[in-house]
């Protein structure tokens, strides 16, 4: 591993790529590690920025994302597909309701469940941060051709559908 550092915040891309390849090859869990590496750089800075600027926590961000494409979802479903613990999602939902960003109704068929719905304010807040996430995903993927992207997403779909086979739900 070369130890000379780049001059600016933006590293010299050429050297960066070399070092990256050098370092990433070494662990015993290469694929999981590389996924984590790429995803961390996508997600962490974006989410921290949203947290700071909009004053919401990660479970709240995730809850808004879920609600935006599927209203009436319940807390436990958000847990199931987001990987967040139910205590945190619960706190997030309570906070979002307090800020009037969502509304909850008890499910008529099951009094334990609460169906969640975005308010206009919630939808507006979501609209405030999603463009940056979309743009950053585009940048992340810009090194792949259209067909490579399709291929990559296809493999991810396969992996995602396989998740229930090797993991137990109660692990969350």
Residues 143-172 that bind DNA (CB under 7 A): 170
- Degrees to nearest 5, angle at CA 55 with 46 and 102: 100
**108 interacts with a copy of itself by CB under 8 A:** no
Nearest approach, Cβ of residue 108 and a copy of itself (Å): 13
**Cβ(113)–Cβ(26) below 8 Å:** no
Q: Which residues contact 104 (CB under 8 A, 6 or more apart)?
A: 93, 97, 114, 115, 116, 117
68 binds DNA (CB under 7 A): no
How near is the Cβ of 88 to DNA at its closest, in Å?
A: 5
Q: Which does 87 bind (CB under 5 to 8 A by kind): DNA, a copy of itself, none?
A: DNA
SS3 104: strand
Count how many residues are written for the chain. 172
- Pick one of a copy of itself, DNA, none as the site partner of residue 147 (Cβ within 5 to 8 A by kind): none
- Centre a 10 Å sphere on the Cβ of residue 67 and count the other Cβ atoms it contains: 23
Nearer to DNA, 19 or 141 (CB): 19
Question: 66 and 93 in contact (C-beta within 8 Å)?
Answer: no
Q: Which does 99 bind (CB under 5 to 8 A by kind): DNA, a copy of itself, none?
A: none
Distance set, CA 11 to CA 14, 34, 89, 105 (Å): 8, 19, 37, 50
Closer to a copy of itself by CB, 74 or 101: give it.
74
Select from 42, 90, 97, 104 the one that contacts a copy of itself (CB under 8 A): 42
Contact between 71 and DNA by CB under 7 A: the answer reads no
* Residues forming the site for DNA (CB under 7 A): 5-9, 44, 48, 51-52, 57-59, 74-77, 84-88, 90-94, 110-114, 170
């Amino acid at each position: 591993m070369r130890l000379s550092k780049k001059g600016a915040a933006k590293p010299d891309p050429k050297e960066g790529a070399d070092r990256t390849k050098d370092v990433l090859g070494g662990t015993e869990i290469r694929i999981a590690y590389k996924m984590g590496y790429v995803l961390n750089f996508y997600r962490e800075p974006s989410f921290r920025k949203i947290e700071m600027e909009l004053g919401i926590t990660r479970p709240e961000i995730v809850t808004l994302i879920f609600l935006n494409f599927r209203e009436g979802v319940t807390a436990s479903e958000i847990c199931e597909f987001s990987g967040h613990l139910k205590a945190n999602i619960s706190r997030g939902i309570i906070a979002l309701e307090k800020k009037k960003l969502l509304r909850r109704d008890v499910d008529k068929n099951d009094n334990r469940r609460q169906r969640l719905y975005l308010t206009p304010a919630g939808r507006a807040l979501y609209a405030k941060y999603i463009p940056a996430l979309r743009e950053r995903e585009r940048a992340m993927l810009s090194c792949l051709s259209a067909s490579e992207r399709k291929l990559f997403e296809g493999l991810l779909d396969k992996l995602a559908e396989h998740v229930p086979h090797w993991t137990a739900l109660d692990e969350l």
